[in-house]
Structure 1
């Protein structure tokens, strides 16, 4: 009986974090709360938010970090909107720093959930290609992690989860995430700060439209104003540069 109780306790510890995460995600999407994380919501509430930041800077930054970490942990698919908002409200360097630490904390939550709920099963049953991938990932975890973090091609949520499944040490995961997301984060935050006049004009137009009783009142801010091809190419080049140590290592082994 004691053994059964111990097994039940182990199963609860293993699956409870994942179950809670799924419930939170379902609640956010079913309630429609995720709609608050959009360019439209940012413009509509820009005046009130910017005034709150002026009056309560420290509190605003802490709330932003908690909100951002939670958004990453529940795998919100457009976290770049929050990154842009951070640059817009706090400036590129302060907003960028707050975003880097908040995103790393949120990513670490997903890492532990993946490692706890699914990682043990994969470690016990890894065979063939999966085992080779685990071995390669562990041998060159720093280079692979930096590549995945620097290159904007891979979904952020996937990169948060896979290392936990493949046995990457948490210390390596944490610092490579912190460093690897920095260039892209600062780039998006800088772009957000540069949108101040555009967003302010959009917000004023929206408020005037609402005050006049005209409906619907739309937002015309385009995503292309923020995410440019040049930015994606630059981040991709940084990601490829992080693979240079692995290439050199493979070339050195070839003659042997």
Structure 2
């Protein structure tokens, strides 16, 4: 009985990181949705700019910490945070901060899932046969390409692109660098919006996030998606050609 109780405790402990993420996400979604908004940024922009001028490095640290928490716990306000990065730090520094913070946050979700449900599901994938085994092999053959596509395709929710790789057992190092590289195009767009957000506020308007879907913006991103998918298409074509031959 003691062994069973110990096993049960270990199972619960293994799931604690993911449980904590889920609990904070639910609480945060209910309590912070009215605070992590463009109205909050508009009302506090002068104070933020004054603090930035007096303590630049301090604001960088605070901004990065808040952004990481938003991503780790899937809180509302990721778009607002990205725009704020451009508003406070400019296009280059803002993009770098947004990418680094989002990547660290995404890694937090990945590791929480890997240490929790990920271990159990990965073990099941390893023991599975038939189509599941074929799916696992296909994913491993195209791991980099699939991870990049998850980041580049705007329609894929960010938290899905964080959780799914952990649950199917992809390598963390591949997840890390493909996340950083794959989110750069979108980060540039949102940071760019933030650079001019002061003028938007002066006109009494909110930033237009639909810019991401403008043809001259979404076109190059979709082009990157095609480039990322090309190796998968080529491998599939070659495999089919060998079978026919």
**TM-score, structure 2 length as denominator?**
0.88
1:223 partnered with 2:199: no
Pick from 234, 240, 246 the counterpart of residue 232 of structure 2: 246
Q: RMSD of the TM alignment (CA)? A: 2.0
Match of 1:91 in 2: 90
The one-character-per-residue Cα deviations of 1:178-215 (angstroms, maximum 9, x if unpaired) are 1111121122212211233223x15xxxxxxxxxxxxx
Q: Please tell me whether the aligned partners of residues 36 and 76 of structure 2 are also in contact (alpha carbons under 8 angstroms).
A: no
Shifted more, 147-156 versus 21-30: the winner is: 21-30
User: Does the CA contact (< 8 Å) of 2:28 and 2:75 recur in 1?
Assistant: no
Unaligned runs of 5+ in 1: 203-218
Structure 1 Cα separation of the partners of residues 149 and 210 of structure 2: 26
User: Which residue number in structure 2 is paired with residue 46 of structure 1?
Assistant: 45
Question: Residues 62, 152 of structure 1: CA spacing in aligned structure 2 closer, same or farther, 3 A cutoff?
Answer: same
| Mean Cα deviation higher: 243-252 or 125-134 | 125-134
Stretch moving more, 18-27 or 226-235: 226-235
**Structure 2: gaps of 5 or more residues:** none
- Cα 1:155–1:222 shift into 2, 3 Å: same
Q: CA deviation at 1:97?
A: 0.6
| 3-state secondary structure, aligned to 2:116 | helix
- Distance (Å, rounded) in 2 between the aligned partners of 1:168 and 1:234: 27
Kindly state the Cα deviation for residue 129 of structure 1 after the two structures are TM-superposed: 5.0
Which stretches of structure 1, 4 residues or more, deviate above 6 A after TM superposition?
none
Written as runs of structure 1 = structure 2, the 5 A alignment for 1:59-78 is: 59-78=58-77
Deviation of the 1:220 alpha carbon: 3.0
Call closer, same or farther: CA 1:222–1:99 in 2, change over 3 Å: closer
- C-alpha contact 1:138 1:167 (8 A) present in aligned 2: no
Determine if the alignment matches structure 1 residue 193 to structure 2 residue 178: no
Per-residue deviation, 1:236: 2.4
- Which residue matches 1:175? 177
1:150 to 130, 140, 152: 152
1:92-171 equivalent positions in 2, closer than 5 A: 92-126=91-125, 127=128, 129-171=131-173
TM-score where L is the length of structure 1: 0.85
